Amino acid sequence: MAKARALKLPRPLGEWWLYFAIGFALVFWGFWPSFFAVLQSTQLPHLIHGFSATCWMILGIVQASLIKFRKRAWHRRLGYSALVLAPVVVLSGLRVLQINTLRTDAAKIMVRREFLYIDLTGLILFSLFLGLAIAAARRRDFPLHLRLMACTVLIPMEAAIERVLGNTMPSLFPGLEGGLQGGLVFMEVVLVVLIAGELKWRQLRWPFPTLLAYYLIMHATKGWVAASPAWAAFGRWYGSL
């Protein structure tokens, strides 16, 4: 059996339950006008995706709390629910993307292609990080497991931050494009702070730098990809499935 790597973090890096709770509050705030406040008129795929993603955020808070209070047996038991919940998050997210791709408002077609690019790759990265987190737990590399699971909570936050910025500061982040730009910058700043903290305490691992690189690449290439005929054709094909 592989020897477990100790999960000893400096205090600022050990309060993940609090950081996840703040993330959940931002998600709830961001999606209140377009989801939580209009549940009765929301389409079923959006309901499934919204509630499953909400449960995922809550699961992150509970799991981080269980680790903080050394309830590792309960953490392992509850962790099996992720194997059921994660496919619901991903599959419903793919369906929501398909519905959004079929919308015909010409004025927003370019930004919708950008959303398809970022959200589709985000779902793929979410699945990859989750698989690697499970593998890290099986190897008893708990610090890596924690960081990878943190990434699966951070990825859904980006869409919520877009809405928070667009709703609260529309003059600075106008429309869908302004919110998207602001959301990407926000995630990049958060990840730089996390990486700086790991460097300060000499505990840098690869998940946060990888996620930062992903967002920087998305930021740099989203306009070019959205304008490409190949991506436009892919969007039409995806929407027709």
Q: What is the pLDDT of residues 37-88, one digit of tens each?
A: 999 999 999 999 999 999 999 998 999 888 888 888 888 888 888 899 999 9
Lowest mean pLDDT segment, chosen from 12-21, 133-142, 194-203, 207-216: 12-21
- Give the number of residues written for the chain: 241
- pLDDT, position 199: 93
pLDDT at 214 over 80: yes
Q: Which candidate, 63, 83, 82, places its Cα nearest to that of 73?
A: 63
The predicted model gives 77-104 an average pLDDT of 90
Lowest mean pLDDT segment, chosen from 21-25, 68-72, 170-174: 68-72
Measure the CA–CA gap between 241 and 228, rounded to whole angstroms: 21
- pLDDT, position 221: 97
Contact 228, 236 (CB under 8 A): no
Q: What confidence category does residue 1 fall into, taking pLDDT thresholds of 50, 70 and 90? A: very low
Q: For residue 141, list its beta bridge partners.
A: 5
Q: What confidence category does residue 225 fall into, taking pLDDT thresholds of 50, 70 and 90? A: very high
Alpha helices in the chain (DSSP H): 11-14, 16-31, 44-68, 72-79, 81-101, 109-138, 142-168, 175-200, 207-227, 229-240
Average pLDDT, the chain: 89
